[in-house]
């Protein structure tokens, strides 16, 4: 039982509880012999149904984000016909989503640990639909960029989905659930660009966003009706309030103090754990390469290979193909590797056992990024360019899924706040790093410019190797290691 779970949920608790109910067994912990409120004990079919619901919303969110990528230049030209240059605005229109997504989790994750996953997830989804409609109705590039940023702010699935998986599944089965949740965005990322060019040419770009808002509305209706609270502390707090005949309120929980502690916790965790900080930096650079490719590929295909908008959208399927292969590999191997290492090493399962696939990706990505630049520089056949994109998608997934599983395993009950640290660094890097590509290419050309990116990636490649080898020892040196009991520390703040 963690330190947070040992603390009184509702302040002073009477020693004698009506009907002789034991406080420790009922209020502070689920009954391991059968408890319908315990998400870990829910029927497997119901848990997987919840995963599919979350996957549906994740699909829609990624569809909304990525569908704009191949048509960003056309949207900016339509909204701002008098501008001399549209390249910077087009890139910002694509990446500003990630800037918003960096800000949202700072509030979303702590709120989910204070009020529970259910209310936060549904409120964010409703706001996401509203902001998507704002983007569809935009009459200027500036307003559209702001609307896209707000849409990113309201994305809850990125930070909450891994945490919800951690709520429902034990360590041996989280990898498969994580893979399913990653599969849905990949489908959305594949379908979005593939059809957005066609829809734009026939119906207009606004219809792409209206379709996205309609899909999000359907998914949110299902979540409102079918989804159940999964966060352990929220369930136990409500149980305690009901048992004692009290109303659970923010005053009962010292709401203002706890709210500030919850909001500041992601920063405390990120900068209080060197392991999380370095793994976040590695993951953020790797993820930003997707947006580097996304912002550079449309111009390359249009100017060098003379692709139409529909063909450019279809070309983005290559990244999804590689990502699908990566998801299949993670689904087949992530849990098996974890169990195998646990048995082979004759130790309890360690979060570091999630990282072998990320090590493979770490040394694949520098080659892939460099090859992408030189294929473009030398005007080699477009098939080779598309193969490099397939490899990038493959390597990217082999970074994201194991790192997410690692964070969930390593930070347990407060995995949402820990994931926030990863997401914030990732989103900030994905927002601004791609904006440097145009001046880099203008100065050095595609070949040398992307070689510089490959060198950066190669310099970070040893990170998962060192974390795998020494991470368990390093985590114990920091205040926020979940298995270190620090009075008044991270766990007690909840």
DSSP, residue by residue, 248-308: --TTTTTHHHHHHHHHHHHHHHHHH-HHHHHHHHHHHHHHHHHHHHHHHHHHHHHHTS---
Non-local CB neighbours of 416 within 8 Å, separated by 6+ positions? 109, 110, 112, 113, 159, 160, 163
Q: What is the DSSP letter of 379?
A: T
151, two tokens = 């849409």
- What pLDDT score was predicted for residue 71? 80
Q: How far is CA 347 from CA 2, 148, 340, 465, in A?
A: 21, 47, 11, 19
Euclidean distance between CA atoms 341 and 351, whole angstroms = 11
Residue 68 burial by CB count (10 A; 0-12/13-18/19+): exposed, middle or buried? Answer: buried
- Sign of the dihedral defined by the CA atoms of residues 209, 211, 217, 220, in that order: negative
28, two tokens = 């502070």
280, two tokens = 């976040």
**Tokens 């820990």 belong to residue:** 418
Neighbours of 177 (CB within 10 A): 25
Neighbours of 408 (CB within 10 A): 25
- Angle made by CA atoms 17, 19, 25, in degrees to the nearest 5: 60
**Tokens 């360590």 belong to residue:** 171
Region of 254 please: left (phi>0), alpha (psi -120 to 50) or beta.
left
- What pLDDT score was predicted for residue 395? 93
Q: How far is CA 337 from CA 105, 172, 300, in A?
A: 30, 10, 39
Q: What pTM was computed for the model? A: 0.70
Euclidean distance between CA atoms 420 and 408, whole angstroms = 11
- What pLDDT score was predicted for residue 383? 93
Q: What is the DSSP letter of 28?
A: S
Q: Using one digit for the tens of pLDDT, what is the confidence trace for 96-144? A: 887 887 777 777 877 887 888 999 999 999 999 999 999 999 888 889 8
Closest CA to 270 of 480, 1, 486, 52: 480
Residue 245 burial by CB count (10 A; 0-12/13-18/19+): exposed, middle or buried? Answer: exposed
Give me the residues of the chain with pLDDT under 50, please.
Answer: 1-27, 84, 250-253, 484-494
Please tell me whether residue 473 adopts helix, strand or coil conformation: helix
Please tell me whether residue 366 adopts helix, strand or coil conformation: helix
Neighbours of 303 (CB within 10 A): 9
Identify whether the C-beta of residue 440 lies closer than 8 Å to the C-beta of residue 432: no
Euclidean distance between CA atoms 324 and 125, whole angstroms = 26
- What pLDDT score was predicted for residue 351? 86
- What pLDDT score was predicted for residue 160? 85
- What pLDDT score was predicted for residue 85? 52
105, two tokens = 């989790």
Closest CA to 156 of 396, 414, 494, 416: 416
DSSP, residue by residue, 423-452: HHHHHHHHHHGGGGHHHHHHHHHHHHHHHH
- What pLDDT score was predicted for residue 249? 53
Euclidean distance between CA atoms 411 and 196, whole angstroms = 39
What domains can be seen in the chain, in order of their start residue?
3-493 (1.20.1250.20)
Closest CA to 117 of 168, 186, 172: 168
Number of H helices, E strands in the chain: 20, 0
- What pLDDT score was predicted for residue 307? 86
* Contacts within 8 Å (CB) and 24+ apart, 268-273: 268/480, 268/490, 269/411, 269/414, 269/417, 269/418, 269/420, 269/421, 269/480, 269/490, 270/420, 270/421, 270/424, 270/425, 272/478, 272/479, 272/480, 272/490, 273/475, 273/478, 273/479, 273/480, 273/481
Q: Using one digit for the tens of pLDDT, what is the confidence trace for 215-250? A: 999 999 999 999 999 888 888 888 887 777 655 554
């Amino acid at each position: 039982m963690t330190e947070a779970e040992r603390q009184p949920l509702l302040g002073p608790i009477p020693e004698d509880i009506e009907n002789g109910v034991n406080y420790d067994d009922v209020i502070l912990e689920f009954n391991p012999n059968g408890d319908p409120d315990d998400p870990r004990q829910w029927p497997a079919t119901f848990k997987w149904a919840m995963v599919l619901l979350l996957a549906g919303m994740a699909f829609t969110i990624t569809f909304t984000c990525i569908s704009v990528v191949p048509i960003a230049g056309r949207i900016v030209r339509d909204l701002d016909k008098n501008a001399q240059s549209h390249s910077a605005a087009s890139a910002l229109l694509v990446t500003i989503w990630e800037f918003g997504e960096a800000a949202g989790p700072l509030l979303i994750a702590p709120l989910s640990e204070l009020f529970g996953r259910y209310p936060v997830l549904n409120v964010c989804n409703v706001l996401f639909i509203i902001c998507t409609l704002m983007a569809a109705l935009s009459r200027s590039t500036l307003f559209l960029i702001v609307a896209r940023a707000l849409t990113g702010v309201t994305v809850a699935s990125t930070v909450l989905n891994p945490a919800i998986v951690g709520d429902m599944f034990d360590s041996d089965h989280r990898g498969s659930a994580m893979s399913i949740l990653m599969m849905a965005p990949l489908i959305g990322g594949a379908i979005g660009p593939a059809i957005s060019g066609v829809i734009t040419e026939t119906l207009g770009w606004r219809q792409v966003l209206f379709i996205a808002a309609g899909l999000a509305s359907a998914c949110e209706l299902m979540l409102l009706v079918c989804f159940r609270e999964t966060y352990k502390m929220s369930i136990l707090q409500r149980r305690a309030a009901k048992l004692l005949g009290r109303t659970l309120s923010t005053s009962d929980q010292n709401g203002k103090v706890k709210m500030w502690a919850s909001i500041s916790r992601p920063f405390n965790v990120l900068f209080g754990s060197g392991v999380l900080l370095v793994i976040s930096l590695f993951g953020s650079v790797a993820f930003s390469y997707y947006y580097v490719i996304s912002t550079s590929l449309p111009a390359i295909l249009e100017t060098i290979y003379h692709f139409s908008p529909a063909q450019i959208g279809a070309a983005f399927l290559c990244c999804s193909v590689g990502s699908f292969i990566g998801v299949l590999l993670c689904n087949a191997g992530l849990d098996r590797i974890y169990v195998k290492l646990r048995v082979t090493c004759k130790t309890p399962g360690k979060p570091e056992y999630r990282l072998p696939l990320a090590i493979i990706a770490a040394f694949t990505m520098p080659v892939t990024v460099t090859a992408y630049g030189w294929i473009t520089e030398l005007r080699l056949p477009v098939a080779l360019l598309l193969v490099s994109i397939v490899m990038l998608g493959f390597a990217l997934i082999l970074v994201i899924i194991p790192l997410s599983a690692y964070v969930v395993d390593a930070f347990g009950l407060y995995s949402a706040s820990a994931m926030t640290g990863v997401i914030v660094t990732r989103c900030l890097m994905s927002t601004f790093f791609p904006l440097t590509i145009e001046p880099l290419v203008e100065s050095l050309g595609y070949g040398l410019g992307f070689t510089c990116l490959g060198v950066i990636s190669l310099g970070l490649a040893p990170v998962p190797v060192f974390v795998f080898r020494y991470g368990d020892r390093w985590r114990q040196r920091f205040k926020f290691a979940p298995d270190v009991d620090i009075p008044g520390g991270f766990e007690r703040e909840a």
